[in-house]
Amino acid sequence: MTHTARAEADSMLRRTLGERRIALVAWRLLVLQNAHPAVGAGVDQLSTYRSHPWRRIEHTMDSGRRLFFSDQEALSREIARLERSHRRIVGVDNRGRPYTALDPAVRVWVLVTLYEAMTALRALSGHPLSLAELDQLYREFREVCTAFRLPDELFPPTAADVPGYLRDTIRETLELTAAAQDMLYTVLTRAPAPRRLGRLRPAWPLLRRLVARFLTALTLADLPAEFRAKCGLPRSRSAAALSWTVHRGARLIAERLPDRLRYRTAPSGEQSRPTTAEPPRAPRTQRRDDRPARIASFYRQVMDQTGDGRLTAADFQAMAHNVCWPLERDEETEATVYSAFDTWWRHLLSTMDANGDGEISCEEFVTAMLAGIDRDPDYLEQGLHVAVRAMFHAADVDHSGRLCADEYRTLFGGSRVHPAELTHGFRQLDTDGDGQITEEEFVRGFTEFFTARTVGVAGTQLLGRP
């Protein structure tokens, strides 16, 4: 099958993966992927999914759209981006086993579980794919996978071989890793409120418990029987009844919906309905010396990527990753960004780690930051400015020395940020009003965020309108 054939609107792969109800097996997919020891170790040690699950899901969905709903050029760019990102995911798990996210067998497992999730969705809904449909879906799926340049012998040869591959991997490799167990039982119980929750945000503590219980029961019911048996996971009658009702009900509803409602991403590759995020917040009254609260907010919202209440090198690697992810720059540029954030981390560690434990608490950060900027005019230049300048140059795709509005939106935007908020932030940093942001304007904005005593200064609104 040619790439042109894959791009046709009647592609079974696109029709199946683009349906909104694919979300019903998304958590099941994540559990199976994270049950692989290498995947689970990388996620457990280096991912920020525990504190930022919604951002992690958005990144995954955006990546999937580029992989399966785009042309060959966009597909190649996305694979290159994933390889640059995964190259840094290496280490040793808690049992002393080395792992790397670039292990071909691990990458094949992650890809095949996506295909298996699509077939499971149809089977769970009471309308399984026929043998001919399974063959077609697998051919289209394998066509996309060829762009990853992974050894063919690692993939199941045909659709009929996928169930055996799954059983063998479960029996020989999979474990109930800490990351898989987290996905099943704890991540959603402590997840922050999604930004799109709007007026329901105050009810999130209650909604969170209900959503967590629902997804845990549904996932336990939907996981392969071999995996549940190996890991001792229960499947109660009530969970089985829930699965039967949800999947069949979702299928019956989906079959009666128009395409614009049935598909999150239409087979053509277009999003069926543009997503909108929470609108900008109304300004609040200024108060004197707002720095301590503002700096603490920056610590919690931006810097503490792992959400564990302390800063470590992992948080700065995660920040660098989130800068590089939307920019699609080359390996050299990404390496410069990671190096700059490492410089920032080392500077903070040398000036803030009061008790010498190799970590920085929020109290240590706020206290030392205020002391540093009040004592030394060049304090921010030694760390923060290094990272900020690297961000600027990475976002300056055309090397003009200025950021246009589109480059700024790529760096700070995404489906979680309201367009009006981005426009406001751009105008605040564009102090001379010429429609572009120079490097010095960019750096000045971050400087003002930490140094200005009141919220009336433009740079204080980096995290949104005060």
DSSP string, 34-78: HTSHHHHHHHHHH--TTT-HHHHHHHHHHHHHHHHSS-HHHHHHH
Amino acid 455: pLDDT: 61
pLDDT tens column, 394-436: 999 889 999 998 888 888 875 555 666 677 778 878 877 888 8
Structural domains in the chain plus CATH codes: 3-262 (no CATH), 291-461 (1.10.238.10)
Report the predicted TM-score, pTM, of the whole model to 2 decimal places: 0.70
Sign for the CA dihedral angle at 60, 64, 65, 66 comes to: positive
For residue 275, the model assigns a pLDDT of: 47
For residue range 115-144, list pLDDT tens digits in order: 999 999 999 999 999 999 999 999 999 999
C-alpha–C-alpha distance, residues 243 and 220, integer Å: 9
Maximum C-alpha span of the chain: 72
pLDDT mean by block of 10 residues, the chain; 466 residues: 47 90 93 95 81 74 82 86 84 92 95 95 95 95 94 97 97 95 89 76 88 94 96 94 97 93 76 50 55 86 83 90 85 92 92 84 90 87 93 92 87 65 76 86 88 66 52
Q: What is the pLDDT of residue 353?
A: 80
| CA-to-CA dists, residue 171 to 35, 36, 156, 164, 181, angstroms | 12, 11, 16, 11, 18
